[in-house]
Amino acid sequence: VTDKKVSKAVIKRLPRYYRYLQTIKNEGIVRISSMELSTRMNVTASQIRQDLNCFGGFGQQGYGYNVEQLYAAIGEILGLDKQYKTVIIGAGNLGRALANYAGFERRGFNLVGAFDVSDDIIGTMLNGVEVMHIDRADEMFPVLKPDIAILTIPQRYAAATAAKLARLGIKGIWNFTHAELNAPEGVYVEDAHLSDGLMTLSHHITSGK
Amino acid sequence: VTDKKVSKAVIKRLPRYYRYLQTIKNEGIVRISSMELSTRMNVTASQIRQDLNCFGGFGQQGYGYNVEQLYAAIGEILGLDKQYKTVIIGAGNLGRALANYAGFERRGFNLVGAFDVSDDIIGTMLNGVEVMHIDRADEMFPVLKPDIAILTIPQRYAAATAAKLARLGIKGIWNFTHAELNAPEGVYVEDAHLSDGLMTLSHHITSGK
C-alpha cells in the first residue's frame, strides 16, 4: 500500500471508513459494494470510489470491496498496525476518561505514563500507571520513550508544556486544551476542540435543521 | 442575519472562525482583513471571503471585517446567543470532564441535570446538580425541560437511551458513545468520535508528515 496519492482531505475521512468497515467486518460481511457502503455511511458512492481508489483498486467491478483487505489497508495508512507509547499530561477527569476510553489500547495506543501537578492526583493509579509530578518528565521520558502526549491541562500552560514535550522528543500531541498550538518543529499536533461539536449542535437545534 | 445561503460545509467551519474571532477580539483588534485572518488560520483568503460572504458583506473592500460584528453574527448563526438546558447521561469521568469543561456555561449551555446507573455516582454532586438514577428521567424531564443531552454511556445502551431521550422531548444529542446513532425523528445527533483524532495523529506520526 502506498499513501503517496492520499490527500489530506481523504486522510481526514479515513477514520470514519475505518470505523464503518470494522462494524461491517464484525457483522461477518466479506465484501461490500460502493453502493451499499454509500447507503450505510450516507456518502455518495462516487465519493467513496474516489476516496478509496487512492489505495489502488481494492474495489473490483461487479465484486465490490473485500472488507477485510480494505480495513487492513486503511488501518495501515492510519498507522494502526503499529504500537504507540502514550502519556497523559493532566490526569484530571478528562485525562482519566481518555486513558480509559475503550478502543485506544486495542488500536495500539498504550499508556506508559501520566503526569499532573495536583497533590490529590499524584501517586494515584490510572489504567495501570502511577501518576507522577510533571517535574519528573525530564527524568522519566528517556526511560518511558513516549511517542504521543495527550494534553489535558489548563490553556495557560499549553504552549510552554508543548515546547517542553517537543524538547523531550515527543512525536505527536493530542491537544484538548482550548489553545490552538503552533506545532513545535518535528511534532504533529492534533487539536480536539470539543466545543466545536457543541456549537454545531447548537446551530442545528436553533435553526431546526 | 440570514442563514438561508449558509451551506452545511460552511456551518462545519464556523466554530473555528468563531474561536479565532474570539481570540482576536480579546486581543483588542477591531478589524481584520481576509488576508490577515488567512495567515492566522492557515486557510486561503479566498476561502475565507467565500465562507464569510454568506453573511452578507461584513467585509468591505479596503476595510476588512469588523471583528465584533462578525463574531456576533457567527455566534447568532451558531445559536450561541441562546441558552440551552443540558443534561449529562452518564456521569463517569468523561461526563464529569464535559460538565466542567470551561466555556460551555459561558456559551449558554447550562447543566440542569445528570443521570447515571452506578450507586457510587448517584447522589454525588456534579457542577451544582445532584446525579440521579436514569430511571428518574421520565419524572424529571418534564420538570427540567432539557434541550440537549450529552451521552457518555457504554455503546450497547446508546440506541435505546437515544430513543428514550427522543420520547422525552430532547432536541439534540451530543454523542460520545462509540455507536453512530441513527437520529430519532426530530432529534439532531452530533457524534463526537474522539478516536478519529487519535487515528489522524497516528497517521501523521507514522508517515512523518
Question: Which chain B residues have a beta carbon less than 8 Å from that of A78?
Answer: 199-200, 202-203, 206
User: To the nearest whole angstrom, how far is the Cα of B59 from the nearest Cα of chain A?
Assistant: 23
Question: Which chain B residues have a beta carbon less than 8 Å from that of A80?
Answer: 199, 202
User: To the nearest whole angstrom, how far is the Cα of A10 from the nearest Cα of chain B?
Assistant: 11
Rounded to an integer, the average pLDDT of B81-89 is 95
pLDDT of residue A61: 65
DSSP per-residue codes, A14-63: HHHHHHHHHHHHHTT--EE-HHHHHHHHTS-HHHHHHHHHTTS--SBTTT
pLDDT band at A193 (very low <50, low <70, confident <90, very high): confident
B205–A84 CB contact, under 8 Å: yes
Q: Which of A15, A195, A198 sits opposite B200 (nearest CB)?
A: A15
Is pLDDT larger for residue B178 or for residue A165? A165
Whether A58 shows a pLDDT value over 60: the answer reads no
pLDDT band at A187 (very low <50, low <70, confident <90, very high): very high
Give me the numbers of helices (H) and strands (E) for chain A, helices first please: 8, 9
Question: Which chain A residues have a beta carbon less than 8 Å from that of B162?
Answer: none
What pLDDT digit, counting tens, does each position of B199-209 carry?
999 999 988 75
Burial of B133 (0-12, 13-18, 19+ CB in 10 A): middle
**Chain B CB within 8 Å of residue A80 CB:** yes
Q: How far is Cα of residue B145 from the mean position of the Cα atoms in its chain?
A: 19
d(CA A118, CA B129): 25
Rounded to an integer, the average pLDDT of A91-106 is 85
Q: Which of A92, A171, A197 sits opposite B205 (nearest CB)?
A: A171
Whether B70 shows a pLDDT value over 80: the answer reads yes
pLDDT of residue A1: 47
Q: How far is Cα of residue B204 from the mean position of the Cα atoms in its chain?
A: 26
What pLDDT digit, counting tens, does each position of B98-144 carry?
988 766 877 889 999 999 999 999 999 999 999 999 999 999 999 99
Q: Do residues B198 and A174 make contact, with C-beta atoms less than 8 angstroms apart?
A: yes
Residue A205 half-sphere exposure toward CB, CA atoms < 13 A = 28
Instruction: Name every residue whose Cβ is closer than 8 Å to that of residue A117 and which is 6 or more positions away in sequence.
Output: A133, A134
Residue B89 half-sphere exposure toward CB, CA atoms < 13 A = 30
Comparing alpha-carbon positions, the chain A residue that sits nearest to B82 is: A206
pLDDT band at B149 (very low <50, low <70, confident <90, very high): very high
**Chain B CB within 8 Å of residue A169 CB:** no
pLDDT band at B1 (very low <50, low <70, confident <90, very high): very low
**Chain B CB within 8 Å of residue A101 CB:** yes
Instruction: Provide the chain B residues 103-142 that lie in CB contact (below 8 A) with chain A.
Output: 103-104, 107-109
- What ipTM did this prediction achieve? 0.87
Question: Which chain B residues have a beta carbon less than 8 Å from that of A148?
Answer: 201, 205
- Residue B25 one-letter amino acid: K
Q: Which of A92, A109, A155 sits opposite B198 (nearest CB)?
A: A109
d(CA B37, CA A131): 40
Instruction: Provide the chain A residues 42-71 that lie in CB contact (below 8 A) with chain B.
Output: none
Is pLDDT larger for residue B115 or for residue A46? B115
**Chain B CB within 8 Å of residue A204 CB:** yes
pLDDT of residue B56: 54
- Residue B101 one-letter amino acid: Y
pLDDT band at B49 (very low <50, low <70, confident <90, very high): confident
User: To the nearest whole angstrom, how far is the Cα of A99 from the nearest Cα of chain B?
Assistant: 10
Nearest-5° Cα angle at A55, A54 to A61: 95
Residue A201 in grid coordinates: 449542535
B103–A193 CB contact, under 8 Å: no
Instruction: Name every residue whose Cβ is closer than 8 Å to that of residue B80 and which is 6 or more positions away in sequence.
Output: A199, A202, B18, B107, B108
Comparing alpha-carbon positions, the chain A residue that sits nearest to B74 is: A203
d(CA B104, CA B37): 25
- Interface test mutation site (partner B, options A21, A26, A201, max chain B beta carbons within 10 A): A201
Q: Which of A77, A103, A206 sits opposite B82 (nearest CB)?
A: A206
Rounded to an integer, the average pLDDT of A171-181 is 89
User: To the nearest whole angstrom, how far is the Cα of B180 from the nearest Cα of chain A?
Assistant: 9
Residue A151 DSSP one-character state: E
B190–A174 CB contact, under 8 Å: no
Mean pLDDT taken over chain B: 89
Which H or E run includes B130?
strand B129-133
- Return the residue matching grid coordinates 461477518: A28
Q: Do residues A106 and A26 make contact, with C-beta atoms less than 8 angstroms apart?
A: no
Give me the numbers of helices (H) and strands (E) for chain B, helices first please: 8, 9
**Chain B CB within 8 Å of residue A207 CB:** yes
pLDDT of residue A49: 87
**Chain B CB within 8 Å of residue A5 CB:** no
d(CA B127, CA B138): 22
> Largest Cα–Cα distance in chain B?
62
Q: Do residues A1 and A56 make contact, with C-beta atoms less than 8 angstroms apart?
A: yes
User: Which one, of A6, A72, A84, A23, lies nearest residue B198 by Cα?
Assistant: A84
